[in-house]
Amino acid sequence: MPDAPQELDCSIAATLEIIGDRWSLLILRDAFRGVHRFSAFQEDLGIAKNLLSDRLRRLVEHDVLERVRYQDRPVRYEYRLTAKGADLSPALISLMRWGDRWYAEGGPPTVLIHDHCGTPLIQEVSCPTCDEAVSPRHIRSRKPGVDV
């Protein structure tokens, strides 16, 4: 696996180095929706083959996706989320929610539901000590090891 991005003092910058372009995010969206094969990514996204190859290679290189052989003759691979890739789910949901709020006239084009009961999901940040929802206005940052 390649070295981590250089800006380790900012996790957002480091993350954007790996997944920060439009195509990579849309590939990840499709992977979460169950798309795994090159041709299916290409068909769904309308992306040029060379761009798709490049983005898939980069996501595999950074252990966000893994190549899994599904056919021997001819040899063919599909792309599966790794644990590292699956951890991006809350970030993609946040981007989706933001787009739903600010750009989806007439309501969200897609609603995320719980597969067991069909209830639409909510996403919130909560404090593990107080067990309360925390709004963006009440979030602060600090360096690790520094007391509040």
CATH number, domain of 30, equals: 1.10.10.10
Residue at 96 is within a domain? yes
Q: What is residue 76's DSSP assignment?
A: E
pLDDT higher than threshold 80 for residue 83: yes
What predicted TM-score, i.e. pTM, was given to this entire model? 0.85
| Whether the Cβ atoms of residue 65 and residue 56 lie closer than 8 Å to each other | yes
In what helix (H) or strand (E) does residue 47 lie, and over which residues does it extend? none
Is residue 143 one of the residues assigned to a domain?
A: no
Q: How many domains does the chain have?
A: 1
Q: Which residues contact 147 (CB under 8 A, 6 or more apart)?
A: none
Least confident of 54-63, 75-84, 127-136: 127-136
In a domain, 148, yes or no: no
- The answer to whether position 5 is within a domain reads no
* pLDDT mean over 102-124: 93
Residue 5 pLDDT > 80? no
Domain containing residue 35: 11-138
Instruction: Confirm whether 146 is domain-assigned.
Output: no
Q: Per the domain annotation, does 6 fall within a domain?
A: no
Checking if the pLDDT of 146 tops 80, the result is no
In angstroms, rounded to a whole number, what is the distance separating the alpha carbons of residues 50 and 96? 26
Is 90 exceeded by the pLDDT of residue 4?
no
Q: Report the b/e string of 41-52 with b at 16+ CB within 10 A.
A: bbeebebeeeeb
Token pair in block for residue 82: 């790794």
Nearest to 92 by CA among 43, 22, 141: 22
Q: Using CB atoms within 10 A of its CB, is residue 111 exposed (0-12), middle (13-18) or buried (19+)?
A: exposed
Let me know if residue 82 belongs to a domain. Answer: yes
- For residue 143, the model assigns a pLDDT of 82
Structure tokens that stand for 113 in this block:
């539901």
Average pLDDT for residues 50-74, to the nearest whole number? 97
Confidence tier at 123 by pLDDT (50, 70, 90): confident
Chain center to CA of 137: 25
